[in-house]
Amino acid sequence: MTDREYPTRPFIGIGIVVIKGNEVLLCQRGKPPNLGSWTLPGGAQEIGETCEEAARRELEEETGLTVGRLHFCDFVDTIRHDDAGRIRFHYTILDFAARWESGDPVANTDVSAVEWAPLDDLERYGLWSEAYRIIAIARRLVQDA
């Protein structure tokens, strides 16, 4: 059990959607939970860190990329219960969007792979349903910026 299992309060998670033309950056999780699944880069906000600082740090730690202007997309709540109905995990995830500027992503820290995924073929990655919604918002924000 981790210190985030069976919490007494929600944890803040940060996600970042990086758009490059008609592609989005995805990471394959290298550690539990959800080992092997594809997701957006991101992680937990640390104490003393702003949301934007957390987004930039997580992106750099997981992929080696840095980006310019960030746009707030939306929030997602994820609450997972155990078999007895107790709350095992509770995250409120704040998602940001950015346009790719330069560099090639490299899998680092807790991801095993990174990939530019075609926006018109995301279904093959089996993303969480909320990820599709957030990516659609991010796409509009980045294209309109």
Give the DSSP per-residue string, 77-130: EEEEE-TTS-EEEEEEEEEEEEE--S------TTEEEEEEEEGGGGGGGT--HH
- How many domains are contained in the chain? 1
Segment 51-76 shows an average pLDDT of 96
- Residue 96, domain member (yes or no): yes
Q: What is the pLDDT of residue 55?
A: 97
pTM to 2 decimal places: 0.92
- Residue 43, domain member (yes or no): yes
- Residue 70, domain member (yes or no): yes
- Residue 38, domain member (yes or no): yes
Which residue segment(s) compose the domain that 65 sits in? 11-144
Q: What is the pLDDT of residue 19?
A: 97
- Residue 4, domain member (yes or no): no
Write the CATH number for 48: 3.90.79.10
Per-residue confidence band for 3, with pLDDT thresholds at 50, 70 and 90: confident
Mean pLDDT (the chain) is 94
Q: Is the pLDDT of residue 16 over 60?
A: yes
The proportion of the chain whose per-residue pLDDT surpasses 90, expressed as a percent, equals 89
Per-residue confidence band for 34, with pLDDT thresholds at 50, 70 and 90: confident
